[in-house]
Structure 1
Amino acid sequence: MNNFATKISIFIVIAALISACNVVKKVPTKKYLLTKNNLEVNNKNITDEKLTSLIIQQPNSSILGFKLRLHLFNLAKENTDSLFKAKYINNPKKYYRQANWLSKKQVNRLGKSFWYSGIHTFLKKTGEPPAILDTTKIRRTTKQLKAYHFNEGYFNAKVQYKVKYENRFSEVNYKVTTGEPTFLDTISRNIETPAIDSLYLLTQNKSLIKVGDQYKTLNFDNERARLTSYFKNHGVYHFQRENIDFVIDTTSKKAPVTINIYDREVKDGDSIKKEPHQIYRISEVNIFTIEKEAKNQKAVADSAITRRYNIYSTNKLRYRPRAITSAVFIQKDSLYSEDAKTQTLRSLSNLNIFFYPNIEYKEDSLGKLKVNIYLKSKDKFSFKANADFTHSNIQQFGISGSTSVSIRNIFRGAEILEFGLRGNIGSSKQFSNPDDSFFNVTEIGADLRLSFPRLFLPFKTTRIIPKRMFPTSYISTGFAKQQNIGLDKENFTSIINYSWTPKKNTNFKFDLINVQYVKNININNYFNVYNSSYNRLNTLAHIYNTIPLFYDEFGNLTKEEGGADGFISSALNNQFPALDPFGSDYRTIKSIKERKDRLTENNLIFASNLSYYRDSKTDFLDKEFYSFRGKIESAGNLLSLLSGVTKQEKNPDGTKDIFGLQYSQYLKSEFEFIKHWDLNHNKIIAFRSFFGIAIPYGNSKSIPFSRSYFAGGTNDNRAWESYSLGPGSSGGLNDFNEANMKIALNAEYRFNLFGDLNSALFADCGNIWNISDSETDETKIFNGFKSLESLALGTGIGFRYDFNFFLVRLDLGFKTYNPARIESERWFKEMRFDKSVLNIGINYPF
């Protein structure tokens, strides 16, 4: 702690010395550095960014009051070329000494080097030039403040400013006097086209402009957009926003409003004439599929005519008509609709068998619209390959690669068949590595996936899930084999999945069948992988073991020749007189045996699950939003019914097999809520809460490892490494600690340092527990609210650099409250750098 205090003291002294530098060093004579803006509205100080952002000229940015970027800019030297020449070229003796040591060319190039030139360019780019007071920008600001308040209904607002000068510094005070606001009085309409007037009456009660409301320009803009969208979705093809105008009496505190909706303007030669708006219906829908290899893309070689659509192809039509028409929301005899056009474009794009579609409307001689949809087919076959360098909770470094071949429209129904191969080699310190090789983990896999642009079911579902919800289905199967990862697993998976989007920002996913079979190949490697279990067992063997056969030449339990397993078997069969069968050491050996049996058993998981996701994010730039994700999964019920029907006999432990394999049976649910608050000025508070629980029953006494929960790591509690936290207050005794219940709470205060460098202060709270399973250790079991005392708390600081297309994140976590320690030493005892955990991640943790 003394060294830490010394470092902090040095940092404070250095910061004080820098802050003592002349901040007006590069402010020209008779100019002033802007240090502060004050905004006062009706004698109240305003800090709301919605208003303060209207001030055009802002002071230099600061971090906790320190203008770091300005100081960096002031450190940069000007005219580095001239300074270099003055030092070397204008000093012949020094120049020739350097030239003899280097060369004339190298000496001349020194002026372009990082030390003489590059460092100053870097300081200028990273730094920030002084904010020199500009009265022109002040006057522009007063106009913006007045315009803002005018748009809020304060038509007579007055804006004044006053500049306070002190030495070389300046401070600007803006004062706004709004006056009384204007409220809307009567609302009347003047609509030139009778058909538009009739439509307006149908939607009048949904108007965003209401009598008695305070005038706000935004409400009028939104009402114009609403009416335009309404008319264009009810057949008015030529309607534009410019056809709507509002007249407001701004001289009165109770302003009457007139809504003017004008006729369409049409060019007639060199003049403009007016015509009434017309409500259009669709006369015909023509769909043209254009093959890439077609010689004459305008010629029609094949066609298919249905009741609502005409389909034409430049080659032989290779799509079933319904495969295309089910993605088209524009129908013959329907009213023109802008939404139908948008949905059609989106749906056709989602098929992934055409390039971006083009939709064209043309008026026919009967006063209707003819629709032409042009679809250019993608290649039937496509090939992809990629390679990545990876970092994860398990691998410190890895190289992964994958290839895939896709076959589009394989059954003429816009289906896509994809076959992929993947592989990975990596380095991990968490697994045994007897050969001390850098790449000590490998994985290879193959996947086959067939996707459908509809719900693939033997019965119709359009009444329950209509095509406007963009339903999709996929059937997939895969195989993966891991070597030198744990027990060298083989993993077989098969999934039948359905997804649909009932409305914007809402999504459902349903796995009708989700089958996973995990087979452990190298069970004899268990004690090489799970060293913590072996070390505890070996310690107990030195106390109780009386059988020399279990030891190697160094006096330790053999790991692979049966020594460890033999000691466990003998201990549990009461062959060691000194071992109390009712004592804690006996329970520890039994616990190690139960954990080994669970982690080495093969798992057959036959599950179904339903996921729901919703968020409120409006676009990519939305900083204040929430998201919710819920999932429920049930496994083993169908196999339990099948084993009962086939009258399978029970195993000695009371479980049953199906196809010679023991199956898992459990019920699992998860809930996650994320909320972001925008504090303005690039400051955000982000919060995440997660709860998950999986209860085994029937044929299972515990949850498969692949379906269990762990705590710690880059996207969880960052003060602990992955799998090192919990369960409960047990202290993470195992190499990979997992359980069947989890609570996680995370909060971050995110802010910008300068440029693309951001930072965050965070707090992570959570843990995992065992509940309603085979675990008997009370420190690991959740027993009601009392167990919440074992929630771990980690706090820390993070740095993030934004590369626009992704974000690199460094988080330093400190164990603030560690439930594994004795009660008197849980708080703040590990708030040290030597006990901290460095996390490296991509993008935000939540």
Structure 2
Amino acid sequence: MASMTGFLSPMCNWAKIGLLLLVFTIVGCNTLKKVDDDELLLIKNTIYADDEKVSNDAVKSLILQKPNSNVLGYPLRLNLYNLAKENPDSSFQNWLHRKEKREKRLNKLLSKKQVNRLRESFFVKGASEFLKRIGEAPVTVDTLLAATSIERLEAYYDSKGYFNNSGTFEVVEQKRKKRAEIEYKIALEKPFLVDTIIKNITSPELDSIYQKNSKGALVKNGEQFDLNNFNSERERLTNLFRNTGVYNFQESSINYDILRDTLQIADDQLMDVKLNIQKPRSSNDADSASTYRIHRLKKINIYADYLIGGTTDSLKSIEHENYTIFYANKLRYKPKALTDAIFFEKDSIYRDLDRIRTYRQITNLNTFKYPNIEFVPDTAQAKLISNIYLAPRPKFSLSFDFDVTHSNIQRLGTAFSSSLITRNVFGGAETLSISARGAIGLLSDASLSDETFTSEIGGDINITFPRIWLPVKTKNIIPYYMLPQSRLLVGTNFQRNIGLDKQSFNTVLSYNWSPSASLKHNIELLNVEFIRNVNPDNFYNVYQNTFTNLDEIADEFQDDPQYASFFEDSGDNDDPLTLDIPDGANEFAQAVLNNEIPTTPEQFSEVNSIDERQRRLTENNLIFATNYTFTKSSKTDINDNSFYQLRVRLESAGNLLSLLEDVVPYNENDNDQLLVFGVPFSQYFKTELDFIRHWNVSNTSVLAFRSFLGLAVPYGNSESIPFLRSYFAGGSNDNRAWNAYELGPGSTRNINDFNEANLKIALNLEYRFPIAGDVKGALFADAGNIWNVFDNEDNPDAIFTDFTSLADIALGTGLGLRYDFTYFVFRLDIGFKTYNPAEEWSRRWFRGYNLRNAVFNIGINYPF
């Protein structure tokens, strides 16, 4: 989302006043206000195991009574709670009767009913309830809870093999008034070790499976007893049996017996363990057929038109590759499309893994609702009949979206989109999506454009195949359990805005697959994009910084009559003449480059740079690219706050076109560039590395880190990277102390309205912590910049030359507030320029570190 500096800057003074009032209010609170004289405020818990301090968060979480939370060492929520009145009703009554005739006058002025409502109002009662809700009551020392915590600690160390441990606690009063900490001390004694594992497996088939896979056991001879290892071993064995034919195996059938009196202390502290794998709970000891056995698939039935609660008696059926497909009236799906999604095979051993993969692949087809898979056993033969019930989704679905936006460019913007989805288009579970979108916005500043409104309209046709769509077979390389998909997209977009007004046409043929939930591959075999600038004459109106630089050079020649045709009346008394846009500016620049106007070498270089930039940003682009993206993440679920994520992307553009010189009709322009349909095609190689790492600092705080490195190198038919494929710095998801496109390149000072380059380094570090309820806080440091390298840029301040250029890395620090709406997070960040490479060496540190120069960014969800 765009930066909101211009919108929020009038609020800075009010923000300062509000911040000061909040600070004075909170600082003025008495932390011990609601701690009675016979109570002690708990400020710290310390755990010692054999006199060694314990820092393990899992152990600390066993303590029932924890000190009040704090924000950067300050008990904010406690003091918010202390601001609440203990009994607002009594306080209101005392105020009401403090003066003899006050209640009578209020009853006449407001009525008796309204006075009673005033008693329940936010200012009387609601404010206190709100403060109590978001605050925290003081946590005072409770010895009963401490004793229970000791029992939990003893149980924890029991689970780690210290069966003879014992614990005590001590309340240590602090020098500061009415404050104390609790010290928990555990004497561990010697741990017990596993000596021998004795098997007691009632099923011969299970015993055979166990023997073949015993090397992977997690409970081993000679290792210290650890209950977690026993639980993990139960899970391992359950997965093992359920993936080797025992479809109905229950984890509750596994238990362990410890064959030693753990209360007795001996020198060796060795213990024997008995592994019991028994019959199912529902089995009868006299019934030998009820023991666990290896099952095979006898028959696989697929119900393609299943209605929940309906009957299957009237369905027709066909046989396809040992599968029986049932359907109503007419089979709407190609049999292969259905059977390819099923990973069970006739006469094969049952595997739970195949069941999970079948669920995932059927869901991935986006044609059926979540499937129901049933297994009917034939216990006499140890066979299974699998019934797979598929309830079709609606053939068509239509959706509409509408958004209202605001930014520093648009005073008000509205966007709408509509999408029509058609499922099972060709009978192979293909999905066709036809979407249209449009937007209109009201400009916040009339000087940005001759137009008052911006507009955009576009549409896409997107078809997805649940397989790799290639003339060669890929099933052996990319099996269906990897959820392969092919996507063909054709789209167009028309923009009319403060820019050059663009038309774009794009076509994408891509493939993606996921070998596991944490790993994903995506290949865009073809990514063709054509961008046409409709209004190139508007360049100097849009890029006003560029125009100002050119106009300042032209000021030296505005009084010369022979150059009068380049200028027009500006209406400004201080600078009455300015270059005419576009003709005057273009003709002046061309005259300088043709040496028709005498300029200094520095001025000539500046005009040449401006002219190159204009040609680059106003020329049409044809990008014919291929790219590959690899993504890996260790994140297990939405609540996992300790994970890493790696994304690697490689992209190459123009190579295929250069190889098809005999097929594609080429022309050449004056710069010796090859043209396809009159447009020079882009040729470059681009690579990106994006790494994110999160650490749990505590149960509620997270440290998040991100590093990004991107490089795009033009060659062959290109001297620079297309604007759409280049890099920029700044903004709500990058370096938050600068607006988007404002930072760089290198040590240059915002030389253009939209600064971009082909090399980018970004490093972000953010500490996230709770404040009160759903309100979260953050402290962040953002470092990075963009540079030009291996292209036609000749400004040394913008070029990355060697490691000394790393001195141009900008540093922004700041703080943020977030509100968690469960489904998304609303974010406000305030960034301060801590180190600004655009300044002189002596002025780079902390020169813009104040609210006046701060950058306010609004965003949705976390930046990384």
TM tier, smaller:
over 0.9
How much does 1:518 deviate? Answer: 0.5
The separation in 2 between residues aligned to 1:62 and 1:23, in whole angstroms, is 12
How much does 1:432 deviate? Answer: 5.2
Q: 1:419 aligns with which of 434, 455, 459?
A: 434
How much does 1:257 deviate? Answer: 2.0
The separation in 2 between residues aligned to 1:653 and 1:670, in whole angstroms, is 30
Q: 1:244 aligns with which of 251, 254, 276?
A: 254
Superposed CA offset, 1:393-449 (max 9, x none): 975753221111111001000001110011122355589544684xx3221111100
Are the counterparts in 2 of residues 297 and 314 from structure 1 also a CA contact under 8 Å?
Answer: no
The separation in 2 between residues aligned to 1:532 and 1:621, in whole angstroms, is 46
Could you say which residue in structure 2 is the equivalent of 1:602?
620
How much does 1:101 deviate? Answer: 3.6
Superposed CA offset, 1:256-284 (max 9, x none): 22212112343569x99983211100001
How much does 1:675 deviate? Answer: 1.0
The separation in 2 between residues aligned to 1:614 and 1:641, in whole angstroms, is 33
Q: 1:378 aligns with which of 372, 375, 393?
A: 393
Residue 519 of structure 1 pairs with residue 519 of structure 2: no
- Other structure's SS at 1:125 match: helix
The separation in 1 between residues aligned to 2:250 and 2:728, in whole angstroms, is 56
Could you say which residue in structure 1 is the equivalent of 2:602?
584
The separation in 2 between residues aligned to 1:666 and 1:525, in whole angstroms, is 28
Could you say which residue in structure 2 is the equivalent of 1:844?
862
Structure 1 stretches lacking a partner, 5+ long: none
Could you say which residue in structure 1 is the equivalent of 2:3?
none
Could you say which residue in structure 2 is the equivalent of 1:63?
71
- Other structure's SS at 2:338 match: helix
The residue correspondences of 1:300-339 to structure 2 (distance < 5 A) are: 300-339=314-353
Could you say which residue in structure 2 is the equivalent of 1:258?
274
Q: 2:222 aligns with which of 189, 206, 212?
A: 212
Highest RCO, 1 vs 2 (Cα 8 Å, sep ≥ 6): 2
Q: Which amino acid aligns with 2:400?
A: A
The separation in 2 between residues aligned to 1:272 and 1:107, in whole angstroms, is 79
Structure 2 stretches lacking a partner, 5+ long: 1-11, 571-575
Deviates most, 202-211 or 746-755: 746-755
Are the counterparts in 2 of residues 643 and 658 from structure 1 also a CA contact under 8 Å?
Answer: no
The separation in 1 between residues aligned to 2:306 and 2:454, in whole angstroms, is 46
How much does 1:34 deviate? Answer: 2.7
Deviates most, 234-243 or 43-52: 43-52
The separation in 2 between residues aligned to 1:393 and 1:458, in whole angstroms, is 50
Q: Which amino acid aligns with 1:534?
A: F
Are the counterparts in 2 of residues 717 and 794 from structure 1 also a CA contact under 8 Å?
Answer: yes
Could you say which residue in structure 2 is the equivalent of 1:451?
464
Distance 1:394-1:146 versus aligned 2 partners, 3 A rule: farther
The residue correspondences of 1:111-190 to structure 2 (distance < 5 A) are: 111-164=119-172, 168-190=178-200
Are the counterparts in 1 of residues 708 and 762 from structure 2 also a CA contact under 8 Å?
Answer: yes
Could you say which residue in structure 2 is the equivalent of 1:674?
692
Distance 1:103-1:548 versus aligned 2 partners, 3 A rule: farther
The residue correspondences of 1:447-596 to structure 2 (distance < 5 A) are: 447-545=460-558, 546=560, 547-554=563-570, 555-577=576-598, 579-580=599-600, 583-596=601-614
Deviates most, 749-758 or 449-458: 749-758
The residue correspondences of 1:742-781 to structure 2 (distance < 5 A) are: 742-781=760-799
The separation in 2 between residues aligned to 1:327 and 1:190, in whole angstroms, is 39
Could you say which residue in structure 2 is the equivalent of 1:340?
354
Deviates most, 145-154 or 108-117: 108-117
Are the counterparts in 2 of residues 497 and 509 from structure 1 also a CA contact under 8 Å?
Answer: yes
Q: 2:750 aligns with which of 700, 707, 732?
A: 732
Residue 813 of structure 1 pairs with residue 826 of structure 2: no
How much does 1:698 deviate? Answer: 1.0
Distance 1:280-1:658 versus aligned 2 partners, 3 A rule: same
How much does 1:179 deviate? Answer: 1.0
Are the counterparts in 1 of residues 294 and 382 from structure 2 also a CA contact under 8 Å?
Answer: no
The separation in 2 between residues aligned to 1:531 and 1:505, in whole angstroms, is 46
Are the counterparts in 2 of residues 489 and 519 from structure 1 also a CA contact under 8 Å?
Answer: yes
The separation in 1 between residues aligned to 2:215 and 2:660, in whole angstroms, is 58
Q: Which amino acid aligns with 1:205?
A: K
* Percent of aligned pairs sharing the same letter: 44
How much does 1:322 deviate? Answer: 0.8
The separation in 1 between residues aligned to 2:187 and 2:586, in whole angstroms, is 84
Are the counterparts in 2 of residues 505 and 615 from structure 1 also a CA contact under 8 Å?
Answer: yes
Could you say which residue in structure 1 is the equivalent of 2:383?
368
Deviates most, 493-502 or 179-188: 179-188
Deviates most, 702-711 or 298-307: 298-307
How much does 1:99 deviate? Answer: 3.8
Are the counterparts in 2 of residues 264 and 274 from structure 1 also a CA contact under 8 Å?
Answer: no
Are the counterparts in 2 of residues 424 and 442 from structure 1 also a CA contact under 8 Å?
Answer: yes
User: What CA RMSD, in Å, does the superposition of the two structures yield over aligned residues?
Assistant: 2.6
How much does 1:650 deviate? Answer: 2.3
Are the counterparts in 2 of residues 263 and 276 from structure 1 also a CA contact under 8 Å?
Answer: yes
The separation in 2 between residues aligned to 1:19 and 1:110, in whole angstroms, is 30
- What is the aligned length? 835
The residue correspondences of 1:344-359 to structure 2 (distance < 5 A) are: 344-359=358-373
Distance 1:104-1:407 versus aligned 2 partners, 3 A rule: same
Are the counterparts in 2 of residues 265 and 275 from structure 1 also a CA contact under 8 Å?
Answer: no
Deviates most, 26-35 or 618-627: 26-35
The residue correspondences of 1:66-105 to structure 2 (distance < 5 A) are: 66-88=74-96, 93-105=101-113
- Other structure's SS at 1:376 match: coil
Distance 1:96-1:216 versus aligned 2 partners, 3 A rule: same
With the length of structure 1 as denominator, give the TM-score of the two structures.
0.94
Are the counterparts in 1 of residues 206 and 292 from structure 2 also a CA contact under 8 Å?
Answer: yes
Deviates most, 182-191 or 761-770: 182-191
Superposed CA offset, 1:99-145 (max 9, x none): 44444433332112221111111111121112233333222111110
Deviates most, 807-816 or 249-258: 249-258
Are the counterparts in 2 of residues 665 and 700 from structure 1 also a CA contact under 8 Å?
Answer: yes
Residue 619 of structure 1 pairs with residue 640 of structure 2: no
Distance 1:396-1:712 versus aligned 2 partners, 3 A rule: farther
How much does 1:83 deviate? Answer: 3.3
Q: Which amino acid aligns with 1:237?
A: Y
How much does 1:597 deviate? Answer: 0.3
Q: Which amino acid aligns with 1:613?
A: T
Distance 1:65-1:637 versus aligned 2 partners, 3 A rule: closer
Are the counterparts in 1 of residues 168 and 186 from structure 2 also a CA contact under 8 Å?
Answer: yes
Could you say which residue in structure 2 is the equivalent of 1:694?
712
Distance 1:207-1:268 versus aligned 2 partners, 3 A rule: closer
Distance 1:769-1:395 versus aligned 2 partners, 3 A rule: farther
Are the counterparts in 1 of residues 735 and 784 from structure 2 also a CA contact under 8 Å?
Answer: yes
Superposed CA offset, 1:644-682 (max 9, x none): 555734211010111222211111111111111222242
Distance 1:396-1:694 versus aligned 2 partners, 3 A rule: farther
Distance 1:264-1:99 versus aligned 2 partners, 3 A rule: closer
Distance 1:718-1:44 versus aligned 2 partners, 3 A rule: same
Distance 1:765-1:585 versus aligned 2 partners, 3 A rule: same
